[in-house]
Amino acid sequence: MRLKRADFVLGVGAMALAAAYLAAAASIPESLLADAVGAAGVPKLVGWAMGAAGALLCFRSIRARTPVPTQRVHWRPHLLALGLLGILTAYVIVAPLVGYPLSIALLTGVVAWYAGAAFGWRLCVISIAAGAVFWVLFGALFGVPMPRGVLFGG
């Protein structure tokens, strides 16, 4: 017999989030223009509600104690998702440096390769073509000033 661990973890996470949120709410400055509730009033209510919900979830998960079959955790999908998040974050960092056409082509190619596409000339050609299509679509057709890239004088 085990407690429902995922719910327990979620409950603890909610309480931690509530504590951090309440601490941040406590540092909201007072204003002479403030009403009776104040800028921090509702956030504090929300923070306390989150703490209470997290505590109740923890309590419920302990109380439930349902039999949970032992399951092997498969980490691979989560690691893949984490890697994809890393690629997207890298895009946000790299795009202002190398500009939109190159960064979007890189993003397309790297994500496709990371998701299982074979590395080769086909991957390169399709990525470059995708970058060109996206650049024409957003930059030329929609007229959006996409980043030109610091390295290219943007």
Partner 1 sequence: LDPLLQAVQSLLSSWAIPAAAAGVLWGIFGGALPGISPSIAMALLLPFTYALEPTTALVLLASVYVGAEYGGSIPAILIRTPGTNAAAATVLDGYEMARQGRAGEALGISLVSGLVGGLFGLVVLVLATEPLAGVALAFTPPAYFALGVLGISIIASLSSASLLKGLIAALVGLMVSMIGTDPVSGVPRFTFGEPDLLAGIKPILVMVGLFAVSEMLMQIGEPPWARADGAQTRLVLPRWPMMKRLAKPQAIGSVIGTFEGVTPGAGGTIAAFMSYSEARRWSNHPEEFGRGSVEGVAAPETANNVVTATALVPLLSLGIPGSNSAAVLLGGFLIHGLQPGPMLFEKAPAVVYGLYGGLLVANIAMLAIGLVILSPCIWLVNRPKPWLIALILALVVSGVYAIHQSLFEVGIVVAAGAIGYGLRLARVPMLPLVLGVVLGFMIESNYRRSLLLSQGDHGIFVADRISLALLLLAAALAAWSLWREWFRPVSTPASA
What is the sign of the dihedral through the CA atoms of 46, 47, 48 and 52?
Answer: positive
Q: Give the nearest distance from C-beta 153 to partner 1 in angstroms.
A: 18
CA distance 61 to 57: 6
Compute the least distance from the CB of residue 133 to partner 1, in Å: 9
Who contacts 8 (Cβ-Cβ below 8 Å, separation ≥6)? 57, 58, 61, 62
Smallest Cα–Cα separation from 100: which of 149, 49, 54? 149
In the region spanning residues 122 to 151, those forming contacts with partner 1, defined by CB under 8 A, are 126, 130, 134, 137-138, 142, 144-147
Which residues from 74-103 bind partner 1, rule CB under 8 A?
76-78, 80-81, 84-85, 88-89, 91-92, 95-96, 100
Which has the closest alpha carbon to 53: 21, 88, 29?
A: 21
Amino acid at 146: M
Show Cβ contacts of residue 21 under 8 Å, excluding neighbours closer than 6 positions.
Answer: 43, 46, 47, 50
Q: Does residue 62 interact with partner 1 by CB under 8 A?
A: no
Nearest distance from C-beta of residue 120 to partner 1, angstroms: 13
Stretch 98-127 residues interacting with partner 1 (CB under 8 A)? 100, 104, 107-109, 111-117, 126
Identify residues 2-31 at the interface with partner 1 (CB under 8 A). Answer: 4, 6-7, 9-10, 14, 17, 21, 24-25, 28-31
Nearest CA to 112 out of 93, 92, 100, 129 is that of 129
Residue 54 sits in the site that holds partner 1 (CB under 8 A): yes
CB of 95 to partner 1, least distance (A): 6
Q: Does the protein bind partner 1 through residue 63 (CB under 8 A)?
A: yes
